[in-house]
């Protein structure tokens, strides 16, 4: 009898893909680039043009930017000018102005009467500090100001106290007045400005005559 022939199963060799060469292994891996916010280039403005460009926003440049203006004024004249306009002006180096109550009432008064709310930081780098100061009034308040969320009724009414004057109570905020609210930051620092501040604002550089 013939021995039964057993068929050997064909063994298939696993396919080997060529690995990276030594040169490829030594190449540094590229890191994913994160998009960084781009600061608005802003505009130049003479002191004589201040009312037209800033207060009246004749060309709509500030409004179209979607940001609040940052006035860069090395001569320090704009702060004095703002004190004689229809504004609520706070001096960044005045402890009373920068107190929690001073910041709260300055903001509320501007919303209630449709005024421009001005904080003059002068030569100090106060931008980051303003977030901390306003957090003492209400957490996240400075973020609401910068994002313009503060003009929403539920946001500004949360700042009202029962001890506030009658004309500051919740039923006294006409929508058309709140709509007129504006916020302006002023700095006398010309160079090496806070990057975050510049990114979050519309810079207006006052030309030195």
The confidence score (pLDDT) of residue 191 equals: 86
DSSP calls for 101-153: HHHHHHHHHHHHHTPEEEEE-TTS--HHHHHHHHHHHSTTHHHHHHHTGGGSH
Residue 27 lies in a domain: no
Q: Supply the CATH number for residue 188's domain.
A: 3.40.50.300
Query: Which secondary-structure segment (H or E) carries 83?
Result: helix 77-83
- Provide the β-strand partners of residue 87: 116
The answer to whether the Cα torsion of 147, 151, 154, 159 is positive or negative is positive
The confidence score (pLDDT) of residue 152 equals: 97
Residue 6 lies in a domain: no
Residue 3 lies in a domain: no
CB 205 within 8 A of CB 191: no
- Ranges of residues in the chain with a pLDDT under 70 are 1-40, 209
Residue 74 lies in a domain: yes
Number of domains in the chain: 1
Residue 18 lies in a domain: no
The confidence score (pLDDT) of residue 1 equals: 47
* Beta strands 182-187 and 68-72, pairing class: parallel
Residues of the domain holding 194: 39-206
The confidence score (pLDDT) of residue 10 equals: 47
Residue 180 lies in a domain: yes
Angle at 123 between CA 187 and CA 143, to 5 degrees: 50
The confidence score (pLDDT) of residue 147 equals: 97
Residue 67 lies in a domain: yes
- Scanning the chain, the segments in alpha helix (DSSP H) are 22-26, 50, 61-65, 77-83, 100-113, 127-137, 141-147, 153-156, 175-179, 195-200
The confidence score (pLDDT) of residue 17 equals: 53
Residue 49 lies in a domain: yes
The confidence score (pLDDT) of residue 40 equals: 60
């Amino acid at each position: 009898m013939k021995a039964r022939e057993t068929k050997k199963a064909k063994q298939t060799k696993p396919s080997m893909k060529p690995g990276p060469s030594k040169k490829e292994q030594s190449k540094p891996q590229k890191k994913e680039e994160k998009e960084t916010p781009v600061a608005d280039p802003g505009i130049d403005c003479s002191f004589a043009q201040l009312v037209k460009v800033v207060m009246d926003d004749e060309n709509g440049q500030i409004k179209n930017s979607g940001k609040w203006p940052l006035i860069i004024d090395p001569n320090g004249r704009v702060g004095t000018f703002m004190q004689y306009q229809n504004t609520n002006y706070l001096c960044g180096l005045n402890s009373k102005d920068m107190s929690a109550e001073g910041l709260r009432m300055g903001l509320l008064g501007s919303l209630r009467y449709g005024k421009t709310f001005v904080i003059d930081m002068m030569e100090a780098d106060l931008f980051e500090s303003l977030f901390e100061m306003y957090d003492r009034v209400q957490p996240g308040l400075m973020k609401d100001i910068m994002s313009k969320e503060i003009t929403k009724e539920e946001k500004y009414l949360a700042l009202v106290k029962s001890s506030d004057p009658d004309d500051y109570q919740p039923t006294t905020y006409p929508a058309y007045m709140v709509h007129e609210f504006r916020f302006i930051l002023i700095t006398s620092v010309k160079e090496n400005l806070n990057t975050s501040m510049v990114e979050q604002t519309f810079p207006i550089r006052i030309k030195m005559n």
